[in-house]
């Protein structure tokens, strides 16, 4: 049995309706209300003041009939876990694999995804990052429109389905990261404002601001994070767009969160990791709390993605406008950020702050060639293999997986999947569906893309197009790319120099005109020929370890075929 408890300072009366009966909740201090004990499996909802409309519990653990339906009491302790020997994983030697449960497999459930965990284990990744799974209106969605922060989206398999997935992942030696969204709520099914000031005046890119200065709302967020880590045995959380959390409190919400997560890790005896997505280019995110920072373990680094993407694809429009050259690649590989207090042409002002390479390590930056944003936020959701040559795609894999950062792959990248991943929604409300489509057209047009090719996000074909085609894996060209990724990940795991996160130890030689570069990684050299013709790259090496094309080491140079990368041992 569990007692009801809800923060609702904006109402004068709350009733709970369960089993056809209504009962009043009792007012407590500071806007909190408490109610009767309900047995697991009981469906219930709240009635506020004199309104006879039954609405869900803001902290509902299960919404079996969707975000507008009744809540259901859920027993967190009922699941029989099998991961008692799991000791966890941190990020210091990690390779992350990002996936979306609804499109990772045609089955579109946690149980269907479990069937592909063996593939990920053989690939060699260490962490599986799952896009948001909290309750959202509609059937399919990226997950960032969630409104039931404590509930697992029922069509994916509900809370027990997610626990089975985490349990199975641990059985394969894989840590699990969950993407969580605390910076806004989705446009449909958000009942929080009826209960109290969970939101505050003002908006960010995605919606109304969350009132993180209010202690009860901070508790709502922190308790949610702790729930995922404790009750669902998760190893890490990726915090979506933390730059949109506007907090003027003496202790920032992120510092409070990281402190309580560290306490929970000590209690559980295994590492628990927070990863921030931030576009601020500010190392304050990963600066320890005692030094005035947020105390987050790691953060996404878009500048590395932009440098690689622009170099490989030739795209320099929109936010890629300052990227695409070898000097830019040198800076991000040695200093993490391109914009570290320098002028950003796209933003029109100075941006970012420098990284202290004496104290910050490369593994604290999660980097990628592709991710859900960088693919899905293109007009047609086209992946890198559609806009860069096969040779350059392979070069990108070599540079990513021998970099000093924590590499992250986007599902299907490891075999150069041909399936696009466009933006898709299934909003039941016609007006919301129309506005969503119109908004995306305007956004994509602003990037200079041809929106005439864009599919309506509400068209079921947009969702179906995004589902991975696993039959591709056995195709000759796809299998060769998969072999390359497996070899690179294994090499990174075997050779400490290739995962060394000391940015001070990284250096690059390059010739912008000739389009070659050499990355120095301890006893290894990563030589790259970006040109369309064979050329000699000046690097001395004793052994050719791996190559994506023709490669012939000579006394003081290596001859590389067109668009070829090689890993050499000195």
pLDDT of 187 strictly over 80: yes
Q: What pLDDT score was predicted for residue 36?
A: 93
Closest to 218 (Cα-Cα) out of 244, 182, 167, 194: 182
C-alpha pair distances (Å), 253 with each of 141, 157, 215, 238, 242: 27, 31, 10, 15, 10
User: At a CB cut-off of 8 Å and minimum separation 6, what does 118 contact?
Assistant: 172
pLDDT of 91 strictly over 90: yes
301-328 pLDDT per residue, tens: 999 999 999 999 999 999 999 999 999 9
**Mean pLDDT of all residues in 222-240:** 98
Q: Catalytic residue at 240?
A: yes
CA distance 126 to 106: 24
The active-site residue, picked from 145, 277, 301, 302, is: 277
Q: What pLDDT score was predicted for residue 446?
A: 66
Q: Catalytic residue at 469?
A: no
462-483 pLDDT per residue, tens: 999 999 999 999 999 999 999 9
Q: What pLDDT score was predicted for residue 172?
A: 98
444-459 pLDDT per residue, tens: 766 666 777 889 999 9
Closest to 410 (Cα-Cα) out of 508, 327, 311, 300: 300
Residue percentage of the chain with pLDDT more than 90:
93
116-158 pLDDT per residue, tens: 999 999 999 999 999 999 999 999 999 999 999 999 999 999 9
The active-site residue, picked from 240, 282, 340, 413, is: 240
pLDDT of 398 strictly over 80: yes
Closest to 548 (Cα-Cα) out of 402, 373, 369, 419: 402
pLDDT of 259 strictly over 90: yes
pLDDT of 560 strictly over 90: yes
> 521 — phi, psi (to 5°)?
-130, 80
Q: What pLDDT score was predicted for residue 437?
A: 79
Q: What pLDDT score was predicted for residue 450?
A: 75
In sequence order, which ranges of 447-535 are alpha helices (DSSP H)?
460-466, 476-494
27-53 pLDDT per residue, tens: 988 899 999 999 999 999 999 999 999
Least confident of 20-29, 53-62, 223-232, 281-290: 20-29
pLDDT of 443 strictly over 90: no
* pTM of the complete model: 0.97
Strand partners of residue 565: 528
**Mean pLDDT of all residues in 57-76:** 97
- 243 confidence band (pLDDT: 50, 70, 90): very high
Closest to 377 (Cα-Cα) out of 314, 454, 275: 454
Reduced to 3 states, what is the DSSP secondary structure of residue 237? strand
User: At a CB cut-off of 8 Å and minimum separation 6, what does 551 contact?
Assistant: 527, 544, 558, 559, 560, 561, 564, 566
Q: What pLDDT score was predicted for residue 1?
A: 58
**Mean pLDDT of all residues in 98-127:** 98
User: At a CB cut-off of 8 Å and minimum separation 6, what does 91 contact?
Assistant: 127, 236, 273, 275, 297, 298, 363, 364, 366, 406
Q: Count Cα neighbours of 64 within 13 Å in the Cβ-side half-sphere.
A: 10
């Amino acid at each position: 049995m569990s007692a009801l408890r809800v923060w609702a300072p904006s109402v004068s009366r709350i009733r709970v309706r369960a089993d056809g009966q209504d009962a009043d909740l009792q007012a407590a201090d500071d806007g909190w209300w408490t109610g009767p004990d309900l047995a697991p499996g009981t469906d219930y909802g709240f009635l506020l003041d004199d309104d006879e409309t039954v609405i869900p519990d803001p902290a509902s653990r299960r919404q079996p009939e969707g975000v507008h339906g009744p809540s259901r009491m859920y027993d967190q302790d009922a699941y029989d876990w099998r991961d008692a020997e799991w000791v966890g994983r941190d990020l210091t030697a990690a390779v992350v694999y990002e996936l979306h449960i609804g499109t990772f497999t045609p089955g579109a459930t946690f149980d269907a995804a479990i069937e592909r965990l063996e593939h990920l284990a053989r690939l060699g990744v260490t962490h599986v990052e799952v896009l948001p799974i909290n309750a959202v209106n509609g059937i399919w969605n990226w997950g960032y429109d969630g409104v039931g922060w404590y509930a697992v989206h029922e069509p994916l398999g509900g809370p027990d389905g997610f626990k089975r997935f985490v349990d199975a992942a641990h059985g394969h030696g894989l840590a699990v990261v969950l993407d969580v969204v605390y910076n806004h709520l989705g446009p449909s099914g958000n009942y929080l404002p009826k209960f109290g000031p969970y939101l505050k005046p003002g908006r960010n890119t995605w919606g109304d601001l969350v009132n993180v200065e209010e202690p009860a709302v901070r508790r709502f967020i922190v308790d949610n994070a702790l729930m995922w880590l404790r009750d669902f045995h998760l190893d890490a959380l990726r915090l979506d767009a933390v730059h949109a959390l506007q907090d003027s409190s003496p202790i920032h919400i992120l510092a409070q969160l990281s402190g309580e997560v560290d306490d929970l890790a000590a209690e559980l005896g295994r590492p628990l990791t927070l990863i921030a997505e931030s576009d601020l280019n500010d190392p304050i995110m990963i600066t320890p709390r005692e030094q005035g920072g947020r105390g987050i373990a790691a953060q996404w680094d878009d500048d590395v993605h932009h440098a690689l993407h622009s170099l490989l694809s030739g795209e320099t429009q929109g936010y890629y406008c300052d990227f695409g050259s070898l000097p830019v690649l040198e800076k991000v590989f040695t200093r993490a950020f391109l914009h570290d207090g320098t002028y950003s042409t796209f933003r029109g002002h100075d941006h970012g702050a420098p990284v202290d390479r004496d104290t910050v390590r490369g593994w604290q930056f999660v980097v990628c060639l592709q991710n859900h944003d960088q693919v899905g936020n293109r007009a047609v959701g086209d992946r890198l293999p559609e806009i860069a040559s096969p040779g350059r795609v392979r070069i990108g894999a070599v540079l990513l997986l021998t970099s000093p950062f924590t590499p992250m792959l986007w599902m299907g990248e490891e075999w150069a999947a041909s399936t696009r991943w466009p933006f898709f929604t299934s909003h039941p409300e016609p007006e919301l569906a129309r506005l969503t489509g119109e908004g995306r057209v305007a956004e994509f047009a602003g990037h200079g893309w041809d929106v005439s090719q864009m599919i309506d996000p509400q068209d079921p074909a947009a969702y179906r197009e995004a589902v991975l085609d696993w039959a591709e894996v056995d195709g000759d060209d796809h299998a060769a790319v998969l072999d390359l990724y497996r070899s690179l990940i294994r090499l990174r795991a075997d050779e400490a120099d290739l995962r060394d996160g000391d940015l001070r130890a990284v250096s690059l030689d390059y010739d912008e005109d000739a389009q070659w570069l050499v990355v120095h990684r301890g006893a290894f050299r990563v030589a790259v020929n970006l040109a369309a013709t064979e050329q000699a790259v000046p690097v001395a090496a004793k052994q050719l370890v791996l190559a994506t094309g023709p490669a012939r080491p000579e006394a003081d140079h290596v001859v590389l075929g067109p668009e070829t990368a090689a890993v050499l041992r000195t």
